[in-house]
């Protein structure tokens, strides 16, 4: 009886055109973060992927030093982080390339994330006036 069911299942798969190993869904990659002020702390770029792997982060088409192959977390959501120091203020195009751990899944590029890097401005700050009273201490001697 088991052989009959197995034969029917194989015949159904053959008729319906399914294979025993279906192609994996294509991977996805999205970037977020990256907003910064020029000359201050680095910005953190977060890549979120649909599968585990490594991410190469780029700014203006050049790979960011130290972020050439950042491993994602091993559990979902699969994220990788990059600390980025902007080279200049203004609009910057950031991208990422995911290389999945599973070699049957193709590499994928992220959509471009455009971030604005601000210029630090010194605001007008009213001065704080500090007055110090000095008290002269004299030691009194009695004779």
Q: Provide the residue-wise pLDDT of the chain in tens; the chain has 143 residues.
A: 445 444 444 444 444 444 444 556 899 999 999 888 888 888 999 999 999 999 999 999 999 999 999 999 999 999 999 999 998 889 999 999 999 999 999 999 999 999 988 887 766 555 655 555 445 445 555 55
Asked if residues 50 and 25 have their Cβ atoms less than 8 Å apart, the reply is yes
- At 41 the pLDDT is 83
> How many other C-beta atoms can be found within 10 angstroms of the C-beta atom of residue 42?
11
- At 21 the pLDDT is 47
| Model pTM score | 0.68
- Please state, in angstroms and rounded to a whole number, the distance separating the CA atoms of residues 122 and 124: 7
Asked if residues 64 and 57 have their Cβ atoms less than 8 Å apart, the reply is yes
- What is the three-class DSSP state of 9? helix
- At 66 the pLDDT is 94
- At 2 the pLDDT is 47
What lies within 8 Å, CB to CB, of 81 at 6+ separation is 44, 45, 46, 47, 70
- Please state, in angstroms and rounded to a whole number, the distance separating the CA atoms of residues 59 and 63: 6
The residue with tokens 């990422």 is 96
- At 5 the pLDDT is 42
């Amino acid at each position: 009886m088991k052989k009959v069911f197995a034969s029917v299942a194989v015949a159904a798969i053959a008729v319906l055109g399914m294979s025993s190993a279906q192609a994996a869904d294509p991977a996805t990659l999205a970037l977020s973060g990256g907003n910064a002020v020029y000359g201050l702390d680095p910005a953190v770029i977060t890549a979120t992927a649909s599968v585990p792997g490594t991410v190469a982060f780029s700014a203006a088409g050049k790979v960011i030093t130290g972020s050439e192959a950042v491993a994602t977390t091993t559990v979902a959501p699969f994220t990788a982080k990059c600390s980025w120091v902007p080279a200049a203020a203004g609009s910057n195009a950031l991208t990422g390339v995911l290389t999945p751990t599973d070699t049957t899944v193709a590499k994928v590029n992220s959509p471009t994330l455009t971030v604005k890097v601000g210029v630090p401005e010194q605001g007008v700050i009213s001065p704080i006036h500090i007055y110090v009273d000095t008290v002269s201490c004299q030691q009194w001697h009695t004779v």
